[in-house]
C-alpha cells in the first residue's frame, strides 16, 4: 500500500494482479464458502467490528473488498441493504451464490469494481465496512473515495493489519517465505503504516483506533509451528492475553486493529 505515490498505471497493474490472485483463491474455495454457515464467534476482533458498526437496520451499507461474502451476508441478514464490492469477479460470484443460498439476494447487490474509483454517487451510503482491504489500496485515493460516497455523519469501519510492531515486521521480512515458514501475503501488499492511516483519514472528521486483541504470539505460533503443539498453543494464548494486560501500552503494537472513521 502506498500513500498517494502510486501512479494510475501502476495502480491498475497492481489491481489486475490482485484480482487474478483472489480469483484463483475464490475458484479453489468457492463451494466451501457458498455452503458455509453464518458466522458465530466470540473473537474480540469480530465483536469490536460489529459493535463499531452499531445498529445498521435498513441502512445502505457498502462492504468494500467483500471477498467471499461472509460479512456482506451477515449485514444483509441483520436487515441492511448491502452492496458487496470487490475487484475479483470470482469472489463477487461466490458472494452472489452465497446470498442466494441464504435467501438474501433481495438485500444484497454484488458489484465488480475498483475501490480507487467507486461507481457510486456522492453521499450514497450510511456506512462502509471492510476487512483486510485497506492495505491493498492507495491510502490517499481510498480515503477521498470513501469520504465522497459516505453520507454526512456516516462512518466507515475497517478491521486491518498494522506495521507498528518492529518485531513482527522483521519476522515478515526475513522469515516468512523462507526456512519452510509460510508467506500468506501477495507481493503487492504491506501492512498499514502510520503514514497510510494519516493519508487515509485526512478527509474525515474523526478517527478512532481499537486494539481488541494482541496476537503477536498467535501469529508466531501459526508461522513457526502451525498450531501443531498443544502446549505451545496454550502458552502463546496465555502470553497474548497476559502481556497487554500487564503492559497495556503495548496494545497499539498489535498486528490487528479496528479503525472507525466518521464524516
- Examine the pLDDT at 63 and tell me if it is beyond 80: yes
| 82-111 confidence digits (pLDDT tens) | 999 999 999 999 999 999 999 999 999 999
Of the candidates 213, 158, 221, 161, the residue with the CA atom closest to the CA atom of residue 185: 161
- Examine the pLDDT at 209 and tell me if it is beyond 70: yes
Residue 243 lies in a domain: no
What value does the mean pLDDT take over residues 130-143? 95
Which three three-digit cell numbers place residue 110?
A: 454484488
Alpha helices by DSSP H, the chain: 8-35, 44-53, 70-77, 89-101, 139-149, 166-174, 194-201, 216-224, 230-246
- Examine the pLDDT at 253 and tell me if it is beyond 60: yes
- Examine the pLDDT at 240 and tell me if it is beyond 80: yes
| Position with higher pLDDT, 227 vs 138 | 138
Residue 239 lies in a domain: no
Range of the domain at 15: 8-164+187-213+251-262
- Nearest 10 degrees: Cα torsion 76, 71, 18, 110: -10
Residue 246 lies in a domain: no
- Examine the pLDDT at 37 and tell me if it is beyond 50: yes
What value does the mean pLDDT take over residues 50-57? 95
| pLDDT in the model for residue 48 | 96
| pLDDT in the model for residue 60 | 98
Average pLDDT, the chain: 90
Residue 238 lies in a domain: no
What value does the mean pLDDT take over residues 27-45? 84
Residue 219 lies in a domain: no
Residue 170 lies in a domain: no
Greatest Cα pair distance, the chain, in angstroms, is 53
**Rounded distance between C-alpha atoms, residue 129 and residue 53, angstroms:** 8
What value does the mean pLDDT take over residues 194-211? 96
How many domains does the chain divide into?
Answer: 1
The percent of residues above 90 in pLDDT, for the chain, comes to: 71
Residue 148 lies in a domain: yes
Confidence grade of residue 40 (pLDDT, cut at 50, 70, 90): low
Lowest mean pLDDT among 2-16, 18-32, 76-90: 2-16
Looking up cell 458472494 gives 95
| pLDDT in the model for residue 3 | 44
The percent of residues above 70 in pLDDT, for the chain, comes to: 92
What value does the mean pLDDT take over residues 145-166? 94
| pLDDT in the model for residue 4 | 47
Q: What is the CATH number of the domain that holds 116?
A: 3.40.50.150
- Examine the pLDDT at 59 and tell me if it is beyond 50: yes
CA 52, 168, 259 angle in degrees (round to 5)?
Answer: 15
Which three three-digit cell numbers place residue 262?
A: 466518521
Amino acid at each position: 500500500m502506498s500513500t498517494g505515490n502510486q501512479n494510475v498505471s501502476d495502480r491498475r497493474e497492481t489491481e489486475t494482479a490482485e484480482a487474478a490472485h483472489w480469483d484463483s483463491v475464490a475458484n479453489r474455495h468457492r463451494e466451501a464458502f457458498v455452503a458455509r454457515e453464518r458466522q458465530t464467534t466470540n473473537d474480540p476482533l469480530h465483536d469490536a467490528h460489529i459493535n463499531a458498526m452499531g445498529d445498521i437496520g435498513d441502512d445502505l451499507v457498502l462492504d468494500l473488498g467483500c471477498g467471499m461474502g461472509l460479512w456482506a451476508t451477515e449485514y444483509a441478514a441483520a436487515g441492511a441493504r448491502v452492496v458487496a464490492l470487490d475487484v475479483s469477479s470470482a469472489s463477487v460470484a461466490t458472494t452472489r451464490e452465497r446470498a442466494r443460498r441464504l435467501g438474501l439476494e433481495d438485500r444484497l447487490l454484488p458489484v465488480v469494481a475498483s475501490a480507487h474509483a467507486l461507481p457510486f454517487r456522492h453521499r450514497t451510503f450510511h456506512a462502509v465496512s471492510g476487512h483486510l482491504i485497506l492495505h491493498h489500496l492507495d491510502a490517499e485515493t481510498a480515503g477521498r473515495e470513501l469520504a465522497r460516497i459516505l453520507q454526512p455523519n456516516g462512518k466507515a469501519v475497517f478491521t486491518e493489519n498494522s506495521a507498528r510492531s518492529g518485531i513482527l515486521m522483521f519476522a515478515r521480512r526475513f522469515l516468512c517465505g523462507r526456512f519452510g515458514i509460510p508467506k500468506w501475503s501477495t507481493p503487492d501488499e504491506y501492512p498499514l503504516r502510520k503514514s497510510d492511516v494519516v493519508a487515509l483519514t485526512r478527509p474525515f472528521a474523526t478517527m478512532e483506533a481499537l486494539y481488541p486483541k494482541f496476537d503477536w504470539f498467535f501469529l508466531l505460533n501459526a508461522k513457526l509451528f502451525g498450531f501443531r503443539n498443544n502446549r505451545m498453543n496454550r502458552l502463546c494464548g496465555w502470553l497474548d492475553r497476559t502481556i497487554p494486560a500487564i503492559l497495556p501500552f503495548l496494545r497499539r503494537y498489535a498486528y490487528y486493529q479496528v479503525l472507525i472513521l466518521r464524516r
